[in-house]
Structure 1
Amino acid sequence: MTDDEIRKACEKAGYQILSSERVYENPWTAVREDKIIHPGGKKGLYGVVERGTFAVIMPLHADGRVTLVQQFRYPVGKRLWEFPMGTWETRPDADATELALGELREETGLRAGELIHAGTLYQGAGYSNQMGHVFLARNLVRGDAEREETEADMRTRDIPLAEFDRMIADGEMTCMVTLAAYAQIRGRGLL
């Protein structure tokens, strides 16, 4: 949805938007502050984190292994295992399939012969407008990764799907986007 469509949907839901101001911006993230009146009449303030559309990709090999990436996530101070994912700040209007293929190649070196769009999701709809596209990648060919400088610490690992399920059950898989993408792919019967 465009910003105008979102605004109209909020107004249709009974929210009155008194003012809207961008209070912070960098190349990756912006924060907008909206002064509103809730449908029940109470005045309020809504901080909205604005981020570009992302793609998250589950790379599934013919032998049933899945490729994960691990990187240090600064906001939580931990290295997390995740599906490859990302956004292109310099090309916010990039096609979702092109973005997914590019992020997969960039982070893992994998090229997908088949890419299946499994759906969309919102990373944090309570505070952010960021939407992502979920893909299942198959018919994979390994090549060299093309990581950005900020991804220099990234590691990759191929594991059996059963090991991935164990990581979920044991609480080792804590990336919300990875978990949600996996649920969408499984729920749609793609595995």
Structure 2
Amino acid sequence: MTEAIAQLSTRLVYENRWLRLREDRVRRLDGSEGIYSVLERADFAVICPIQAGRLFLVEQFRYPVGERVWEFPMGTWEWRGDVDPMALAAGELREETGLIAGTLVQIGEVFQAAGYSSQRGRVFFATDLTEGEAEPEPEEQDMRRGSFAVAEVEAMIRGGVIRDAITIAAFAQARLLALL
């Protein structure tokens, strides 16, 4: 199979602890050339935690959109190299909610924004939950946890209360696998 876009060269435009932005010179299928900007970030985990028919979500202020957002617990450990996805999922769940999963199963994968980013996420389903101590990061100081019946989460998605694309995708994967 021939790639529709071939990389001719690449240059690093910007880099910090959380991301790298590169600009690639490319050749398209028709032979024309151009540039493509790619945002590189570490892979992430998103977790669908459920106990007694209730899903646990977190709400926090998301600076880029200037709003508080309800979403499943999720995140990445940018400061670490290769991270075991299961360890990342368990760690993010505990950090953001204080919950510890007795059972944690990967149910799918998603791309954060395949049109401009290489970041990939793994979707996990967490059950047999026990309470622990949350350890939020500095940006998560205002985070709060809520639990909702599956029908309430569906209504929140339909009503535009939940607008986080990864949360909606993870919910859909769990629903389509008949886990919810």
Which category of TM-score, normalised to the shorter sequence, fits these structures?
over 0.9
* Structure 2 residue corresponding to 1:60, chosen from 34, 43, 50: 50
- Normalising by the residue count of structure 2, what TM-score does the alignment of the two structures yield? 0.96
Query: Deviation per CA, 1:66-97, whole angstroms, max 9, x where unpaired?
Result: 11101111111111000000000122311000
**Aligned equivalent of 1:152:** 141
Match of 1:103 in 2: 92
The structure with more strand, counted as a fraction of residues: 2
- RMSD of aligned C-alpha atoms? 1.2
Determine the structure 2 residue equivalent to 1:186. 175
Q: How many percent of aligned residue pairs carry the same amino acid?
A: 51
Normalised by the length of structure 1, the TM-score is: 0.91
Give the match's secondary structure for 1:60.
Answer: strand
How do 1:6-25 residues align onto structure 2 when only pairs under 5 Å count?
Answer: 12-25=2-15
1:72 matches 2:61: yes
Q: Kindly provide the amino acid, as one letter, of the partner of residue 47 in structure 1.
A: S
In the alignment of these two chains, the number of paired residues is 180
The Cα shift of 1:172 comes to 0.9
Which one-letter code corresponds to 1:71 in the other structure?
Q
Structure 1 residue runs without a partner (length 5+): 1-8
Query: For 1:80-135, what per-residue CA distance to the aligned partner results, in whole angstroms no more than 9, with x for missing partners?
Result: 00000000012231100000000000000000001111011101000000000000
How many Å separate the matches in 2 of 1:187 and 1:92?
A: 32
Distance 1:42 1:98 in 2: 44
More helix, by proportion: 1
* CA positional deviation for 1:14: 4.2
Match of 1:129 in 2: 118
2:41 to 28, 51, 67: 51
